[in-house]
Amino acid sequence: MDIQGIGAIVTGGGSGLGEATARAIVARGGRVALLDLGRSKGAEVAASLGGAAIFTEADVTDEDGVKAAVDAAVQAFGSLRAVVNCAGIGSAGRTVGKDGAPFDLDVFRRTLEVNLVGTFNVIRLAASVMVGNEPAAGGERGAIVNTASVAAFDGQIGQCAYSASKGGVVGMTLPIARDLARHGIRVCTIAPGLFATPMLMMMPEPARQALAATIPFPPRLGDPPEYAALACHILENGMLNGETIRLDGAVRMPPR
């Protein structure tokens, strides 16, 4: 896929990995709809990108909101060729806490609802529009990039909900790619390691340095533009399909 001139949606585009990806797509000549919550900086980021971006307020778990965002992107750009799913939330807690209390089931449900169900909601609604695209070279009509985490494979103590949600994203990547192959739509997932996202940057500096020291090479936190570069490469490389790619500097997370 040639990013030049395409219309794309980036969820969670108001900050972190999503913002970096939106900026990378625009830098390559694409146009992007930033889908994010109203309290995000999505509108501000879109404004900074000028006429190449719009902000579409929606919760990824809301069917009507996401459908409206997809329709807005198509109306603004003429078609939708790419989606990068970066929206997500974190949660922490042991299955049974030190006080003997069980993990809050509502927190578990909400984590899966946003990270897993929300990702699938965007995929299905975007893909239903992409199938109507005129095929490009090689028959491609679109490409979708999802965001999992190394926690899908190396879940730490207290990450039962988060790991389950991201493991679900990994698990559905191949079957969705197979589902959409007949329509010429590719699907891949990136599993980032320790990245300098707003959530992680809220930690004290010594804690961030300790995390960075666990990464074999390079011994530092990942930069969101490095995620964005891989997301753009997946969009551009027509042979990448049905795969989950770890982007983690060879880190393997310890139990705690």
Which tokens go with 118?
A: 């929300």
- Give yes or no: 227 in active site: no
For residue 112, give the nearest of 60, 48, 70 by alpha carbon: 60
Q: In what order do the strands lie in the sheet with 7-11?
A: 53-57, 31-36, 7-11, 82-85, 142-147, 185-192, 244-247
DSSP tag of 11: E
The active-site residue out of 108, 162, 195, 227 is 162
Distance CA 84, CA 12 (A): 9
Contact of 20 with 84, CB cutoff 8 Å: no
Contact of 234 with 188, CB cutoff 8 Å: yes
Residue 191 β-bridge partners = 246
Distance CA 167, CA 148 (A): 7
Which tokens go with 63?
A: 């069917």
Q: Is the peptide bond before 175 cis (omega within 30 degrees of 0)?
A: no
Contact of 168 with 213, CB cutoff 8 Å: no
Distance CA 224, CA 127 (A): 26
Q: So which residues are the catalytic ones? A: 162
